[in-house]
Amino acid sequence: MPIADFPGDRNWGYDGAALFAPARCYGRPDDLRSLVDAAHRIGLSVVLDVVYNHFGPDGSYAIAFSPDILSTRHMNPWGAGLNLDGPGSQLVRRMLIENALHWVHEYHIDGFRLDATHAIADDSPTHFVAELTAAVHAARPDAPPVVIAEDHGNLNYMITDPPRGWGLDGVWADDFHHVVHVMQTGEHDGYYRDYRGTAAELARTIERGWLFSGEPSAFFNRSRGTDPTGIPLDRFVVSLQTHDQIGNRACGERLHHLTDLASWRAASVLLLLAPETPLLFMGQEWAASSPFLYFTDHHEQLGMRVTQGRRQEFSRFGAFADPATRDRIPDPQGAAAFDASRLQWDEIDREPHVGMLQLYRKLIAIRLRREELTAVICLAGGASFAAPDGTVILDTEDPAFCSDPEPAIREAGKIQFQRPGALIFESLVPCPVPLVP
């Protein structure tokens, strides 16, 4: 998540005011350098979330230096957009690109997740995101930093190589999350109303990278998406949890808080064996008990407006139609929301968390083998499937992964699941295409 400094001592990071400064409440600039160096020593890359669609509502001093910073033509959910295509926009574009290059050169960051690129309005011949991507790739030619967008548009040209496309390395593909969420929870509020949660939807999403490729969307009240045919599947980033999908819920529930652990284990197998690039959110690998709430630390006047706006936002949901119920939504300004969102690291030493952590470690190791696998997955209820050929190398009902196993019954060429679960078979035929591109 973003680390540009902001007023106050706690924030998700999307209210950045000092774009070139690591947030002081996280440590010194040299502390960030040490963190990145430590990650590199053990073979980990560091991808930084950056926000180029708006400034935070308080303390954004850059706006005081020039009237050209903000657009007079484009608005977005946070107010005036940044000026990327009007008079004086070349300096604004350069400032933002230099910001990205600053993180690469000064801190050796290995890539970026661009926040809400669908809210970056630019009518220039070369879109700002395309220009930024090219500049970041050129910053370190021997090992180009990656650029990944958060974008709900399902736009194929974003992850198509130049000159036909913008050349991004990946895009968050939320259709996967939404289909699985509806399948396992039955929720249909908000953007979930566009999904039925069927196996057919899920199969199409996994095969193509996203579900909506031009079909009408009831939530957006327009057609959504483009044809992803031919795009490598590793350019689609899929997840079961993200800070948005959890934190934008009134009470910050994770998916495994809304379902049972058997369902969570099955969904985790699906995520980590899909050909897309999997994204894990902190703590999901051990089914963390802590929620992830929206939290802020604005000055009193702004903070009151944030609290009121947060609660009003949920008024359109049936569960919060009653004002008294909305008043019980955790106050983002209260320190309790921040404290409740902290991971409880001692959980990983006890059940059911230790078993879930072992499952994730095993799944990641299997994925890294790059071999031909067949997974039989029951995401909801119980079901019967034909048994594939091969040797079972993982069973989510193994006692190593759960303390109350209910193994699937395998006989007469059939697999009967008693509850949600998954079996992974190692095929007898070598795979000509690696599981992880």
Say which DSSP state 320 is in: G
Q: What CA–CA distances, in Å, run from 82 to 21, 66, 97, 357, 366?
A: 19, 12, 13, 42, 44
Catalytic residue among 115, 151, 169, 175: 115
In the chain, what is the greatest distance between 2 CA atoms, to the nearest angstrom?
Answer: 75
150 is catalytic: yes
Helix, strand or coil for residue 193? helix
Instruction: Tally DSSP H helices, then E strands, for the chain.
Output: 13, 18
Residues 6+ apart with CB under 8 A from 100: 50, 112, 132, 135, 136
Which residue bears the tokens 């650029």? 147
Cβ 36 vs Cβ 56: under 8 Å = no
Cβ 120 vs Cβ 152: under 8 Å = no
Q: Determine how many CB atoms are found less than 10 A away from the CB of residue 292.
A: 27
Catalytic residue among 5, 150, 175, 331: 150
Which residue bears the tokens 């630390």? 297
Residues 6+ apart with CB under 8 A from 86: 68, 71, 72, 73
Cβ 429 vs Cβ 420: under 8 Å = no
Q: Alpha-carbon distance 153 to 213, whole Å?
A: 9
DSSP sequence for 155-180: -GGGGS-TTTS---SEEE-THHHHHH
Cβ 17 vs Cβ 59: under 8 Å = yes
End-to-end CA distance of the chain: 26
Q: Alpha-carbon distance 66 to 58, whole Å?
A: 17
227 is catalytic: no
Question: What single letter denotes the amino acid at residue 5?
Answer: D
Nearest to 302, CA basis, from 96, 76, 6, 2: 6
Catalytic residues: 115, 150
